[in-house]
Structure 1
Amino acid sequence: MSGFARSVVVGGSGAVGEMFAALLREAGGRTLVVDVVPPPNERGPFLAADITAPGPELAAALGRADLVLLAVHEAVALKAVAPVARLLRPDALLADTLSVRTGMAAELAAHAPGVQHAGLNPMFAPAAGMAGRPVAAVVTRDGPGVAALLRLVERGGGRPVRLSAEEHDRTTAATQALTHAVVLSFGLALTRLGVDVRTLTATAPPPHQALLALLARVLGGTPEVYGEIQWSNPRAAPARRALADALRSFAALVGDGPEPGGPAEGLDGAFEELRRFMGPELAAEQNRCREMFRVLHHTDDEREKDR
């Protein structure tokens, strides 16, 4: 048993909500999916309702629930906090799956200061599955319900990583907003170079192949999702500015043409700075890269390093 005899998953028609609803049902709890439209693969009780203005049926379900999980857009989740908090039992858990934490922290402080709460941000696409993957967990108010929810994630194969709200937004600005900006900027740069993508894929060394694969993965998603990651996180704009500054610094180091002493002379300091930043993680990530390149090349050759 999950520890939640009755749960309500709001936004259960979406991919994230559907993933958590399935996890709760597999653990043996009674799970009600609430959304404005039915889920594509309805597997249990469903209620069409607006969580920001609960009617009598939804209000009764919220009042009975051990867990209410908001798997909806940030604007809806923030607007739902006050009405949901008024209906929850004192020992119930409120959770959400937002990708930005600071706004929710302020809303909870204003309207639900005594409510157990945890924010879960799956750091992967739901279609990839939870097994072995990290789930950022921001606990606003701890309690037995929070512990039960984190155990549920672990039983589903996920790895909860506890962060403060500030740590979460600073970290995801780097791991998501900055990463996506790098990959999409790389793609846009290619379109401006007049190169043929078939020639690139035929001749690409492993690092370029890896970047092309990342670009293809991002392009398989929707612009709205990637755009929301960029504009909703208050730390994303500074991350993009840091990227632009770093590219200008790199251009200054290597110059615009052949220089006396060669390019390595200007890059020595940058390499040393980056090696210090990576610290003890450097060797582990080098090993990870070797494994990734083996997959790309379908080979056990370890000699390819610099290109």
Structure 2
Amino acid sequence: MSGFARSVVVGGSGAVGGMFAELLREAGSRTLVVDLVPPRERRDAFLCGDVTAPGPELAAALRDADLVLLAVHEEVALEAVAPVTRLLRRGALLADTLSVRTAMAAELAARAPGVQHVGLNPMFAPAAGMTGRPVAAVVTRDGPGVAALLRLVENGGGRPVRLSAEEHDRTVAATQALTHAAILSFGLALARLGVDAGTLKETAPPPHQVLLALLARVLGGSPEVYGDIQRSNPRAASARRALAEALGSFAEAAGDGPDPAEGLDGVFEELRRFMGPELTASQDHCQELFRTEHRTDHEGEKDR
């Protein structure tokens, strides 16, 4: 059982909301999907409504709910906090799926400090499935409902990782905003070097092949989504600045600076210290990626 007899998933017609609606439904929760458009597959009860200004039918559903999950854009979720929490019964859980946490934490502190709340940010595309994948969990106010929802995620195969709001935004700026900026900047550099993409594919060593694959994956997505990630996280700009500054430091160490005496020794030393005990495991992971990509032998390739 889910621990939630009645659930309302706002934005349940979208990919993330739909994933959680299905998880709840399969666990036995009577799930109402609320959205401005119906879902493609009507597996749950559906109500067309605006959560920022609930009409009588939606208000009644919110009053009866054990869980209300907001799988909507940040501006909608923030605007919905006040009207939704006024309707929630005592002991009900409010959850959301925002990719930025600090603004929601501040809004809850101001509007509903006594309401149980957890933010869940799936660190993967919903189409990939939840099994074995991390779900960042930021608990604003703990309680039985929070524990029940995290158990539901675990039972669905997910791996909840508990973070504070500040820690979440700092981490996601690195894992998403910085990562996407690095991949797309790599692609821009290739485009401006005047090289041929087909020739690159034919001649590239494994690290370059993997970067090309990452670039292709990003380009298969929506510029609007990637742009929103860059704009919405308050720490994304500092991550991009760090990337630009790091490239400058690398260029100096590689020979562009006036005194490249140490070469890349200092860069490697700093990064090995940063990776610490994770270095060996990540090297093994990379070896597996290369073996899959190129069907290499046990040793694979290390330097190119």
TM norm. shorter chain > 0.5: yes
Alpha-carbon distance in 2 for matches of 1:206, 1:165 = 37
Which residue in 1 is equivalent to 2:284?
287
Amino acid at match of 1:105: A
Which residue in 1 is equivalent to 2:235?
235
TM-score between the two structures when normalised by the length of structure 2:
0.98
Gaps of 5+ in 1: none
Amino acid at match of 2:174: A
**Aligned length, in residue pairs:** 304
Query: SS of 2:32's equivalent?
Result: strand
Query: SS of 1:299's equivalent?
Result: coil
Alpha-carbon distance in 2 for matches of 1:276, 1:186 = 25
User: Aligned to 1:302, which of 293, 296, 299?
Assistant: 299
Shift of 1:214: 0.4
CA contact (8 A) 2:71 2:97 kept: yes
Q: Deviations over 1:111-162 (max 9, x none)?
A: 1110000000000000000000000000000000000000000001000000
TM-score between the two structures when normalised by the length of structure 1:
0.97
Which residue in 2 is equivalent to 1:212?
212
Amino acid at match of 2:280: A
Alpha-carbon distance in 2 for matches of 1:17, 1:207 = 35
Q: Deviations over 1:78-115 (max 9, x none)?
A: 00000000000110000000000000001101111100
Which residue in 1 is equivalent to 2:265?
268
Identity among equivalent pairs (%): 82
Asked whether 1:85 is paired with 2:85, we answer: yes
Report the RMSD for the aligned CA atoms in angstroms: 1.4
Alpha-carbon distance in 1 for matches of 2:135, 2:268 = 32
Alpha-carbon distance in 2 for matches of 1:195, 1:87 = 60
Which residue in 1 is equivalent to 2:158?
158
Which residue in 2 is equivalent to 1:170?
170
The residue correspondences of 1:1-307 to structure 2 (distance < 5 A) are 1-256=1-256, 265-307=262-304
Query: SS of 1:208's equivalent?
Result: helix
Q: Which 4+ stretches in 1 moved above 3 angstroms?
A: none
Gaps of 5+ in 2: none
Q: Deviations over 1:188-211 (max 9, x none)?
A: 111001111110011110000000
Alpha-carbon distance in 2 for matches of 1:36, 1:102 = 27
CA contact (8 A) 2:287 2:300 kept: no
Q: Deviations over 1:224-270 (max 9, x none)?
A: 1111110000000000000000000111111249x99xx89411111
Which of 215-224 and 295-304 deviates more?
295-304
